[in-house]
Amino acid sequence: MISHDPVILGLLAITLGLIFYTSELPGSGWKKLYRFVPVMVLCYVIPSLFNTFGIVDTSHSLLANIASRYIMPACLTLLIVSVDIKSMLLLGPKIIILFLIGSVGVIIGGPLALYLFSLISPDLLNWEGSTSTWRAMATLAGNWVGGTANQFAMKEVYQVDDNMFAIMISVNVVFSALWMALLLYCAPHAEKIDNKMGADVNGIRLLVEGIRLRDTQPTSLPSLKGYVYIFAIAFGVTGLAHWGADGLVPFFRQHYPELAKFSFTSHFFWIVIIVTSVSIGLSTTKVRHIEQLGASKVSTLLLYFLIATMGLKMDLTLINDFPIYFAIGFVWLAIHALMVIIAGLLMKAPLAYMAISSQCCIGGAVSSPVVALAFNRHLAPVAVLFSVFGYAWANYMVCLCAEMMKHITP
């Protein structure tokens, strides 16, 4: 097994290179493959196969940490800096309503799934102590409404033991990965699906047109100076976010430890908050013009590396280890998805709205921009803002979800 990070990094780079190379080949076989399986999906799935079949061992790898702590904030910075907040308002209320419905779908989906399995196979579930199923499911609810930081916060709040928590981590990894892959697969077909649904895409059109009208300067040819500016802004903001998080986390841990349940003692939480806040501020200045220097190409490159690294964490064999909990996770996710889809159909919302609203819940700030970018790159900052909002209110919602599950008995 390959376990040395430089070798794994080289393998990912070669994999991305081969995928993009074959996607441009004129052969009919390659064209058919990429017609049904988009490039972005393969960049995610192939690395997951490396992990599933034991080609690589990432148990001691630092690549995932580097991707989430350095690459992801830099990528978010470049995506947000070019955002036009006023233009985002042109999307209208539908996407906000769908996001709220998606969150509610998670909160009521957990109790409904647990109640269903308490009737079908109560003997397979734990009901007492720190290993109780409802306590463990509360941690998963934290992740699916907010993010990983919220899941760890709920572990401490509900005193879930490490073994049960590991099961919930596995459930989250598998289903959030499969759900993301499905959304990425649907992205290239969004226009056809929207036409069949009769969806109203005026919001997205107005957003794109508003950004185009704002960016009246012609795009410059890529240059060394331009790339230096891009990297300076991307990793400068990332460094500032880490510096701020390094100061804020110890402060809250020492003076306000009770705020841990709201993720205020999470390093990652503050990185996302600071990156988002600073980048939004910069988007109101001349810094936003780095888009004309090629910022979107750099952010897309970083995003593909992030996708490939995330794929390395997925192990399809995990679903065989704890079938009852994976079955609960499947039903839970299905309830959430159905609520978003039904609401989207009733409102005639575009598929992009449904996908982003759902992924902001299930995937959080790391993966929601990936899904948004697959539909329309101008929607990525919207996904980031919703994901950050999820961090803020997740723990309130999870407490409600946990109380409902607590009162379900076999």
pLDDT digits (tens, 9 = 90+) for 259-288: 776 668 878 778 878 887 898 788 888 887
HSE-CB at 151 with a 13 A cutoff on CA atoms is: 25
**Could you write out the DSSP letters of every residue in 278-338?**
HHHHHTTSGGGGGGGGTHHHHHHHHHHHHHHHHHTT--GGGGGT-HHHHHHHHHHHHHHHH
Average the pLDDT over 346-358 and give the result.
89
As given in the structure block, the two tokens for residue 59 are 């148990």
Average the pLDDT over 20-30 and give the result.
84
The per-residue pLDDT for range 83-125, each reduced to its tens digit, is 656 656 666 788 889 888 998 999 999 999 999 988 887 777 7
Average the pLDDT over 378-389 and give the result.
75
Burial 269-295 (b: 16+ CB within 10 A, else e): bbbbbbbbebbbebbeeebbebbbbbb
Sign of CA dihedral 83, 72, 362, 385: negative
Average the pLDDT over 208-225 and give the result.
62
Please give the backbone phi and psi of residue 56, each rounded to the nearest 5 degrees, phi first: -125, 155
Higher pLDDT, 240 or 285: 240
- Asked if residue 91 lies in contact with residue 350, where contact means CB atoms within 8 angstroms, the answer is no
The per-residue pLDDT for range 56-91, each reduced to its tens digit, is 988 888 888 888 788 888 887 887 786 656 656 666
As given in the structure block, the two tokens for residue 67 are 């991707």
CA dihedral 336, 337, 339, 344 (to 10 degrees): 140
Return the top range by mean pLDDT from 145-149, 298-302, 330-334, 398-402: 330-334
Please say if the pLDDT value at position 213 is more than 70.
Answer: no
| 216 alpha carbon, distance to own chain's centre | 32
Average the pLDDT over 383-388 and give the result.
74
- Asked if residue 353 lies in contact with residue 190, where contact means CB atoms within 8 angstroms, the answer is no
DSSP H helices in 24-71? 28-36, 39-52, 63-66
Average the pLDDT over 33-39 and give the result.
75
Please say if the pLDDT value at position 235 is more than 60.
Answer: yes
Q: Could you tell me the CA-to-CA distances from 163 to 129, 166, 167, 170, 389 in Å, in that order?
A: 13, 5, 7, 11, 30
Q: What is the Cα–Cα distance from 139 to 124, expressed in whole angstroms?
A: 19
Q: 201: how many CB neighbours lie within 10 A of its CB? A: 18
The mean predicted confidence, pLDDT, of the chain is 81
Percent of the chain with pLDDT over 90: 17
Please say if the pLDDT value at position 318 is more than 70.
Answer: no
Please say if the pLDDT value at position 241 is more than 90.
Answer: yes
The length of the chain in residues reads 410
Q: What is the pLDDT of residue 331?
A: 94
Average the pLDDT over 375-380 and give the result.
78
Q: What is the Cα–Cα distance from 204 to 94, expressed in whole angstroms?
A: 11
Please say if the pLDDT value at position 340 is more than 90.
Answer: yes
Say what angle helices 267-282 and 380-406 make with each other, to 10 degrees.
150
Q: What is the pLDDT of residue 261?
A: 64
Please say if the pLDDT value at position 370 is more than 90.
Answer: no
Higher pLDDT, 339 or 35: 339
Window from 144-153, 236-245, 315-324, 341-350 with minimum mean pLDDT = 315-324
Window from 282-296, 348-362, 385-399 with minimum mean pLDDT = 385-399
Q: What is the Cα–Cα distance from 149 to 251, expressed in whole angstroms?
A: 17
Q: What is the pLDDT of residue 85?
A: 62
Q: Is 2 helix (H, G, I), strand (E, B) or coil?
A: strand
Average the pLDDT over 329-338 and give the result.
93
